Amino acid sequence: MEVIANFKKITMKKIYTTLLTVLTLNVYGQDTTKNLNSEMSRLKTETVLIVQSQAIDEYPLWSPNSDFVACNIEGKWYKFRLTNIDLADAKWRGQTIGVLTTKDAYSELTNKEQIEFERVSKLNPREVNTTNATKVELTMEEMSVSLIVTKKGEKAKKLWTSGGENCHSLVLSPDEKYVAYLCEMNGLLIMKLK
């Protein structure tokens, strides 16, 4: 009898979880399991080009939950969701990166959202540090910029050099899993830190 009761509990829990997932998808229209992290893992990459544009003004902004990133394109703010997205692989600076291909991933950022995003987005043009002592730098070298990552207890590692392109405006996500930055000839990029 006890085995049957436990089986019924487990079965009811599975049914409830499945229904909750279906309802979430129907209500919100998003599959939260297919997110930036899962897509980056699928492509085996640490970097994603979120917005391909040479017309980005100002520094990128993160949402308080790190589920959106925003940028100003030709004077207008847009937010890009990082859930229910698809990434395609591409080559950039000798490495595989992801490129956002989801057509409906962006929408205009409201004034209220902009204030909330600005509150949690700390700009440092050339260097950010996480609470677990990971340092990300965009260092100037003659006519280029290099991306250098130093993790606690490890030597600094140069990931790439820009070859004449200016890259800047590092902004750490509130959950400290990602850093967003701009490369002027390419656009808004995100790098995974964990």
Per-residue pLDDT of the chain (194 residues; tens, 9 = 90+): 444 444 444 444 444 434 334 333 434 444 557 899 999 999 999 999 999 999 999 999 999 999 999 999 999 999 999 999 999 999 998 899 999 999 999 999 999 999 999 999 999 899 999 999 999 999 998 889 999 999 999 999 999 999 889 999 999 999 999 999 999 999 999 999 97
Round to whole Å and give the CA distance between 31 and 21: 9
Round to whole Å and give the CA distance between 51 and 121: 18
Nearest CA among 47, 172, 67 for reference residue 120:
172
CB-based contact 68:116 (threshold 8 Å): no
Which residues 6+ apart lie within 8 Å of 49 measured at CB?
Answer: 90, 92, 97, 98, 99, 100, 186, 187, 188, 189
